[in-house]
């Protein structure tokens, strides 16, 4: 009788193990890239994400896909993302109320560009991006506290207001060219690099509008009608990138915890603080679950055989 019971239990045990192991092999190590997404014709990948918990914590709650348009939202407003260049780590942004060569937009309607202090280590306009502030008052902080009343206005990558005045849009306004010294009044346009003032806040700067252009080519384009208008922003990861590289090498997706502070490696139905290989041996992994099943089964068999 004991031999028969042993045969039955061994057969059941073998069937159980063979049915569970294939499931375990399928759930690990194959992990779906849960964070890569698409919005219109743009690919959204690390360090960005449009889903909660995806990407680097420094870029959390930054990008949103709305009606197939990828939007970037910061404290100064929302901008349409025209391009994400992962090779050069840059984004190209569009503000619909920003002036260009064909149209001057006044009335403080433009967003400008202001980054939250906690996000500034990760996101800033590139050095070859010029901001041209338009219609600033004489009391603007731009024109206060400079020795000899010399204006901070200057060209950036050979782009500036003197050339910008040649655009068709200025024929309507008729700019006052007062030069680089604050004389009878401030100029209608003042070009500055972002790092000079750290924030393009039209209200605080008392400027009615702005334009922005950037340069990509090594040979500068002089004609303002051929400039690339928009805001070119570079992104950076101030901390070690080894975590995400290790996570992706083990089949995971890089994300962050519910507090939006610490990075995690998302491995299908599990999250790891290191990589997906460590999940395999963790207490929450499928191997541990299999052991629990076997232990429970063997305990039941022993009790059953004892009673028999």
Confidence of residue 239 (pLDDT cuts 50, 70, 90): low
d(CA 159, CA 37): 36
**Model pLDDT for residues 49-80, shown as the tens digit of each residue:** 998 889 999 999 999 999 999 999 999 999 99
d(CA 110, CA 59): 23
Give the model's pLDDT for residue 138. 86
Q: How many CB atoms lie within 10 A of CB 271?
A: 19
Give the model's pLDDT for residue 1. 52
Preceding omega of 29 cis (within 30 degrees of 0): yes
Give the model's pLDDT for residue 3. 55
Paired tokens of 43:
């690919």
Confidence of residue 118 (pLDDT cuts 50, 70, 90): very high
Between residues 182 and 152, the one the model is more confident about: 152
Average pLDDT over residues 166-178: 74
**Model pLDDT for residues 259-279, shown as the tens digit of each residue:** 777 889 988 888 888 888 874
Q: Characterize the bridge pairing of strands 69-74 and 90-94.
A: unpaired
Residue 2 pLDDT > 70, yes or no? no
């Amino acid at each position: 009788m004991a031999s028969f019971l042993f045969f039955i239990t061994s057969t059941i045990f073998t069937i159980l193990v063979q049915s569970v192991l294939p499931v375990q092999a399928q759930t690990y190590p194959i992990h779906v890239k849960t964070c890569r997404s698409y919005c219109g014709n743009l690919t959204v990948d690390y360090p960005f994400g449009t889903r909660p918990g995806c990407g680097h914590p420094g870029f959390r709650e930054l990008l949103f896909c709305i009606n197939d348009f990828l939007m970037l939202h910061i404290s100064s407003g929302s901008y349409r993302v025209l391009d994400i260049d992962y090779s050069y780590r840059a984004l190209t942004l569009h503000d619909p109320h920003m002036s260009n060569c064909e149209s001057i937009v006044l009335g403080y309607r433009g967003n400008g560009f202001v980054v939250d202090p906690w996000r500034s280590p990760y996101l800033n306009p590139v050095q070859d991006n010029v901001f041209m502030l338009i219609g600033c008052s004489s009391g603007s902080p731009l024109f206060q506290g400079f020795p000899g009343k010399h204006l901070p206005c200057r060209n950036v990558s050979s782009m500036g207001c003197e050339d910008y005045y040649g655009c068709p849009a200025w024929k309507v306004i008729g700019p006052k060219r007062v030069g680089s010294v604050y004389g009878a009044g401030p100029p209608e346009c003042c070009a500055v690099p972002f790092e000079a003032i750290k924030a393009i806040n039209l209200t605080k700067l008392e400027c009615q509008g702005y334009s922005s252009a950037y340069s990509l080519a090594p040979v500068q384009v002089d004609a303002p009608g051929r400039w690339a208008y928009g805001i070119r922003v570079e992104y950076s990861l101030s901390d070690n990138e080894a975590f995400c590289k290790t996570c992706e090498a083990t089949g995971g997706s890089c994300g962050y915890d519910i507090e939006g502070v610490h990075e995690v490696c998302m491995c299908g139905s599990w999250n790891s603080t290191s990589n997906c290989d460590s999940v395999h041996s963790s207490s929450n992994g499928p191997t541990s679950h299999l052991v629990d099943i076997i232990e429970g089964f063997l305990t039941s068999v022993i009790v059953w055989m004892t009673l028999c």
